[in-house]
Structure 1
Amino acid sequence: MSIDQMNIGFLPLVDAALPILAQEHGFAEEQGLHLNFTRDVSWASVLDRLLYGHTDAAHMLAPLAIATTLGRGRPAKALSVPFILGLNGNAITMSHKLANVVAPAGKLGEPVSVGEKLKAEIAKRAEAGERVRFGVVHRYSSHNYKLRYWLSECGIAPDSDVDIVTIAPPFAADALANDEVDGICVGEPWNSVAVERGVGRIVLVTAQIWRRGVEKVLALPTEKLDDDRDKIERLVRALHFAAKHFVDPENWDTNAAILSRKEYLDGSATLINRAISDRIMLTAGAETFDAPDFMFQYREAANFPWISQAAWIYSQMLRWDHLEYNADDQLRAEQVFRPNVYRTALKGLDTPIPGANSKLEGSVTDSLPVGSTQGRLTLGANPFFDGRIFDPTEVLKYLESLPKS
């Protein structure tokens, strides 16, 4: 069998795991692929390499794939997402000074309570001529959108009451250490790095804001997907098998060791293992505790590219870029996610495939059996912390229901 080479761009984050493990465990080779990796330190660099043909596909922020397709911040270039690399996996880590004011000691905060106390602290600092500053990994990131969603619902205007700046993930702990920011919203292992260094405390995890929030994706130019459809479907299959392997507790130690290598995350296997196993340490020297669904990589169709999740991202882009709604743009945003490719690639495998391409986001409060075209599928709870439900067919009505800030 001939082997096709593919070049994959990534950032050193735990949720880059699936392409790496697909190669390391032979799942790519079983599909006639060899994956070569290019590590970067910023999402801008990952995107540039992809757009200029230096890589064939990339580990990417879901909102960045949509923003690129819609021409937000640069000339439009259509990207496609046939596979979701994971849901959530991020946290909000604050300086000890701020965390001690807004969050309980020894446990995760509760979003509403932390928000109320943060609002009071922001007002107090404003009277003294000071501002609270948060760092996120990119303007077009789920980190930015979930942080803003939480702040706004708690009565804090993200564009006027606080400052939100961009920091590349590997430097997020440095920014906290140097008092450049009061908090960061970043993926693992960089929250845990800040904790280990004693410069911050994890206050919330983004799964508390949206239990099943879309995070990183496999993205590639749409023209490449069209030209190399068979190769991409083989890649999707390799990622699927890697995801199934990744979530098995028997494989956590091995996978953490692989990801910790210099060419990949170049970090602590212990910290990586915590993220993989949903075990979080909030502050240096404390006991780890279980944070259910902190990272979500496989079950409940976690890797399925729901177009309703793309539509939610589009709604937040409108909201925070202060744009007018455009039905054609919503369609283009939704078309970035390619459930048809996922379906074709995994047809006949022993895995459930949803019967629909879209759903009401935030509507499931308990286990819910849903229609499927293959296997039996049950979805778990997927609420937003404020109890809102997002209907992708009613974007304008949804935006009108949100706090104005």
Structure 2
Amino acid sequence: MTNARLRIGYIPLVDAAALLVAADCGFAQEEGFEIELMREVSWSNVRDKLNLGLFDAAHMLSPLVIASSLGLGHVRVPIITPFNLALNGNAITISPQLHAALSEHTAGDLADPNISARALAQVVADRKARGIEPLTFGMTFPFSNHNYQLRFWMAAGGVDPDEDVRLVVLPPPYMVESLASGHVDGFCVGAPWNLVAVEAGVGHILHLGYEVMARVSEKVLAMRERWANDNPALCAALIRALARAADMIGNPEHRTTVADVIARHIDVTPDLVARVLAGTLLLSPNGPTRNNPSHIIIGGQSATRPDPVQAAWFYTQLVRWGQAPLSDEMQAKAIAAFRSDLFDAALGTLPAAGNTPADHVGAFAGPEFEPNHIQKYLDFWTNRRSGPRLSVVR
């Protein structure tokens, strides 16, 4: 293992932080290997290069690990994750025009996702009645929390995300320009791009991701199952290096150093990164600031251990929106992709986080999630797909 060099792909987002810090702050070297960071612009590139063996590991969307392992949207390549890079971190950002329209269609507080979703339904109905083309929302990939958080929010208000609006796939760095140019009316993306849109004066953060789902795995370290099996010592060393990096990121005493490292790799200012990590976010141009450290959680609160319940949640979203059939076999494969056993072998068993929602997700609407009763959970929702269908412009 000594002097091994790992090629690891990443997208320029704050939730790649543990990889960036492990590479730049000596944690990888202290574990006996080097990290060669490979910056990419799209999740399809990251997935394909990992699948082909061009990357040893990658910063990846949590649901995409499951989709790849099930052979959805691409050839089946068994992908696993032994380490969770970040919880939460997304936000739904909308144009000033849509924000004004939502405000006109509600007397309530748009900060409540139930109220804003119903207001969206009224805006959608009004546009249909007037013959105006549907609203367009950007998200980063069909197998992503960005897609599922948008859909969950919309559906709670009675909006059919396949019939009433258009969902388009955009790489994270292109979201702000797409909103500014009017190509989209809103988007869901990870930090820092929501804050960039607000500070550029082209967007309003409508909901932070934790307001839609209180605790959800956003990005993970992904690797081919075969690579993990063939390189157990190196896999464990990588987990240890990332855990030490995550601990550093989660410690406010190191925020200046950490923000400098992250900013250098994602091309934004260190001040903006520091505010994201602190959960201090400007919601509207010249508007209010919200402070909540739950906006993004990297390190601490058992955030780094893969949660099999969340894997079951992602599989349920695949089924709800017609991306996968419901079967015991597929559910078992989905859960098996989240390798908490490898995490525990490298680091030992950590105590459970005290603030974890009872169902490990904490969605703002619907019943509590029960991973052993997925059909019952799906039966609650009238707004879902009954077969394999997903209307997304790519």
Q: Tell me if structure 2 keeps the 8 A contact 1:311–1:330.
A: yes
- Structure 2 CA distance for aligned equivalents of residues 151 and 274 of structure 1: 28
How far 1:121 moved relative to its partner?
A: 0.7
Query: Equivalent residue of 1:173, what SS?
Result: helix
Query: Equivalent residue of 1:215, what SS?
Result: strand
Q: Tell me if structure 2 keeps the 8 A contact 1:108–1:282.
A: no
- Structure 2 CA distance for aligned equivalents of residues 324 and 74 of structure 1: 16
Query: Equivalent residue of 1:220, what SS?
Result: strand
Q: What fraction of aligned residue pairs are identical, expressed as a percent?
A: 37
Q: AA paired with 2:39?
A: R
**Correspondence for 1:238:** 241
Q: Please give the root-mean-square deviation of Cα atoms over the aligned residues, in Å.
A: 1.8
| Structure 2 residues not aligned, in runs of 5+ | 385-394
**Correspondence for 1:358:** none
Cα gap change, 1:136/1:188 in structure 2, threshold over 3 Å: closer, same or farther?
A: same
Determine if the alignment matches structure 1 residue 220 to structure 2 residue 196. Answer: no
- Structure 2 CA distance for aligned equivalents of residues 203 and 38 of structure 1: 32
**Correspondence for 1:64:** 64
Deviation string for 1:348-397 (max 9, x for gaps)? xxx7245xxxxxxxxxxxxxxxxxxxxxx523445211152111111111
**Correspondence for 1:88:** 88
How far 1:322 moved relative to its partner?
A: 5.5
Of residues 216-225 and 321-330 in structure 1, the stretch that sits farther from structure 2 once superposed is 321-330
- Structure 2 CA distance for aligned equivalents of residues 19 and 108 of structure 1: 36
Q: Tell me if structure 2 keeps the 8 A contact 1:153–1:403.
A: no
How far 1:57 moved relative to its partner?
A: 0.2
Q: Tell me if structure 2 keeps the 8 A contact 1:135–1:184.
A: yes
Of residues 84-93 and 384-393 in structure 1, the stretch that sits farther from structure 2 once superposed is 384-393
User: Which of 155, 178, 181 lines up with 2:181 in the alignment?
Assistant: 178
Cα gap change, 1:319/1:387 in structure 2, threshold over 3 Å: closer, same or farther?
A: closer
**Correspondence for 2:389:** none
Q: How does 1:20-31 map to 2 (within 5 A)?
A: 20-31=20-31
Q: Tell me if structure 1 keeps the 8 A contact 2:278–2:293.
A: no
Query: Equivalent residue of 2:369, what SS?
Result: coil
Q: Tell me if structure 2 keeps the 8 A contact 1:119–1:155.
A: yes
| Structure 1 residues not aligned, in runs of 5+ | 355-376
How far 1:197 moved relative to its partner?
A: 1.6
User: Which of 144, 149, 166 lines up with 1:146 in the alignment?
Assistant: 149
Deviation string for 1:129-157 (max 9, x for gaps)? 22111100000101101111111112111
Q: Tell me if structure 2 keeps the 8 A contact 1:90–1:186.
A: yes
How far 1:198 moved relative to its partner?
A: 1.2
Q: How does 1:282-293 map to 2 (within 5 A)?
A: 282-286=283-287, 288-293=289-294
Aligned length: 377
How far 1:270 moved relative to its partner?
A: 1.9
**Correspondence for 1:389:** 368
Q: Tell me if structure 2 keeps the 8 A contact 1:343–1:353.
A: no
How far 1:323 moved relative to its partner?
A: 4.0
Cα gap change, 1:3/1:289 in structure 2, threshold over 3 Å: closer, same or farther?
A: same
- Structure 2 CA distance for aligned equivalents of residues 143 and 255 of structure 1: 25
Query: Equivalent residue of 1:300, what SS?
Result: coil
Query: Equivalent residue of 2:354, what SS?
Result: strand
Cα gap change, 1:323/1:337 in structure 2, threshold over 3 Å: closer, same or farther?
A: closer
TM-score (norm 1): 0.89
Q: How does 1:6-405 map to 2 (within 5 A)?
A: 6-102=6-102, 109-130=111-132, 131-261=134-264, 264-286=265-287, 288-321=289-322, 323-347=324-348, 352-354=350-352, 378-381=354-357, 382-386=361-365, 388-405=367-384
Deviation string for 1:49-106 (max 9, x for gaps)? 111111100000011111111111111000010011011100000000111232599x
Q: AA paired with 1:7?
A: R
**Correspondence for 1:360:** none
- Structure 1 CA distance for aligned equivalents of residues 323 and 16 of structure 2: 31
Q: Tell me if structure 2 keeps the 8 A contact 1:243–1:298.
A: yes
- Structure 2 CA distance for aligned equivalents of residues 249 and 108 of structure 1: 31
- Structure 1 CA distance for aligned equivalents of residues 80 and 378 of structure 2: 25
Q: Tell me if structure 2 keeps the 8 A contact 1:108–1:202.
A: no
Cα gap change, 1:287/1:109 in structure 2, threshold over 3 Å: closer, same or farther?
A: closer
- Structure 2 CA distance for aligned equivalents of residues 122 and 317 of structure 1: 25
Deviation string for 1:278-305 (max 9, x for gaps)? 0101123345330340001122211111
- Structure 2 CA distance for aligned equivalents of residues 124 and 11 of structure 1: 38
Query: Equivalent residue of 1:378, what SS?
Result: coil
Q: AA paired with 1:273?
A: A
Of residues 15-24 and 320-329 in structure 1, the stretch that sits farther from structure 2 once superposed is 320-329
Q: Tell me if structure 2 keeps the 8 A contact 1:236–1:345.
A: yes
Deviation string for 1:324-365 (max 9, x for gaps)? 311111111111100100000002xxx7245xxxxxxxxxxx
Regions of 4+ moved over 6 Å: none
- Structure 2 CA distance for aligned equivalents of residues 158 and 108 of structure 1: 19
Q: Tell me if structure 2 keeps the 8 A contact 1:6–1:34.
A: yes
Deviation string for 1:175-211 (max 9, x for gaps)? 1011111101001111111112211111101100111
How far 1:27 moved relative to its partner?
A: 1.4
- Structure 2 CA distance for aligned equivalents of residues 248 and 14 of structure 1: 15
